[in-house]
Amino acid sequence: MATIPDTAERSTLASLFGEEPFSHCSRAVADRLEAIATVLTLSAGETLAGKGDGDRLVFITRGSAKLVSCTAPHGSTPIGSEGENRHILAFQFPGDIVSIPSQRAGGAYLVALGELDLVAFDAREFLDAAEGDPALLRGVLVRSLDTIQRNRKRMMRLGHRSARQRIAGFLVTMAERIAGCTEGPCEFALPMGRGDIGDSLGLTIETVSRQFTELRNEGLVTTKGRALVHLSDIDRLRHEAGP
C-alpha cells in the first residue's frame, strides 16, 4: 500500500473537477470532496487494496491499472506477489471509476501497470458528500450503469468465445481504450504482459502467445518488441471477435 505523496495533489484533484461527473459540481460539494479525497501516485507494481471497513471509490486520472481479485491473501501472502490467485477482473484507464470492496466483502486490489495517478474516496464519505449534489450522484450512477454494460459484454466473451475471439476482442477494446481508435489501422503500446492478458481472458500465457502468432501470420497484427502492437484493420479484427 502506497503512502500519500505531498506533491501535485491540488493540480490532480483540480483536473478531476474538470472531468465528466464533476464538471457541474457545486462549490460547497467540491470543497467537501476535496477534504475527504486521497490523491495518490503509484509506480509500476504498487498496489491499492480495499480497506478493512468500507468500500473505496477510485477515480483513475492517469496511467493504467489492473483490478485483481484477491481470493485469500490473508496476511500470509504479501499482497501483490504474483502468487496463486491470478484473476484479473478488469483493466482500468483514465476516466474510469473503480469500486474496490472492503477486504471483508470479497476483496480486490488495484495494481499499477506503470505510473498511475488516482483519487480515492471512502465510498460512504463520498456518497454522503455527493448527496448534496444530485447531478454528481447521477453522473456516477450513469457511469456505473455503463460499467455494468461493459462487464456484460465481457462476460459473454468469457463464457462463450474461443481463444481467437477473445484475443481479437481484447485487441479491439484496447485500441478503443488506449489509442481511442475505433476503425482503420492503429498502433499503441500494451501496458500489460501476455500473462496479464491471459488472466483477464481466462486463457494461459501459451494460448495467448499462439493466438498472437496466428493473427500475426494472417497479417492482422504486427508487433514490435513486447508491447508495441500495430493493428492493420480494426474492423476485420472486430469481425473476428464475433458479435
- Under the rule (CB under 7 A), what is the footprint of DNA? 162-164, 193-195, 202-210, 212-213, 223, 225-227
Q: Is 145 in the site for its own copies (CB under 8 A)?
A: yes
Question: At its nearest, how many Å lie between its own copies and the CB of residue 161?
Answer: 9
**SS3 breakdown of the chain: % helix, strand, coil, rounded to 5?**
40, 20, 35
- Binding window for its own copies (CB under 8 A); candidates: 35-43, 73-81, 146-154, 210-218: 146-154
Q: Which lies closer to its own copies via its Cβ, residue 70 or residue 215?
A: 70
- The Cα 166–Cα 156 span in angstroms is 10
Q: Are 241 and 168 within 8 A, CB to CB?
A: yes
Q: Is 72 in the site for its own copies (CB under 8 A)?
A: yes
Q: Is 156 in the site for its own copies (CB under 8 A)?
A: yes
Angle at which helix 163-178 crosses helix 134-160, to 10 degrees, equals: 150
Q: What contacts 166, CB < 8 A, 6 or more positions away?
A: 157, 158, 201, 202, 203, 241
- The set of cell numbers assigned to 204 is 494461459
Contact of residue 156 among DNA, its own copies, none (CB under 5-8 Å per partner type): its own copies
Question: At its nearest, how many Å lie between its own copies and the CB of residue 230?
Answer: 27
- Single out the residue of 95, 134, 184, 219 in contact with its own copies (rule: CB under 8 A): 134
Contact of residue 183 among DNA, its own copies, none (CB under 5-8 Å per partner type): none
Locate all alpha helices (DSSP H) within the chain, ordered by sequence.
9-18, 27-36, 123-130, 134-160, 163-178, 194-201, 205-217, 234-241
- The Cα 215–Cα 213 span in angstroms is 6
Binding site for its own copies (CB under 8 A): 55, 69, 71-72, 85, 87, 89-90, 99, 101, 105-106, 108, 123, 127, 130-132, 134-135, 137-138, 140-142, 144-145, 147-149, 151-156, 158-160, 199-202, 243
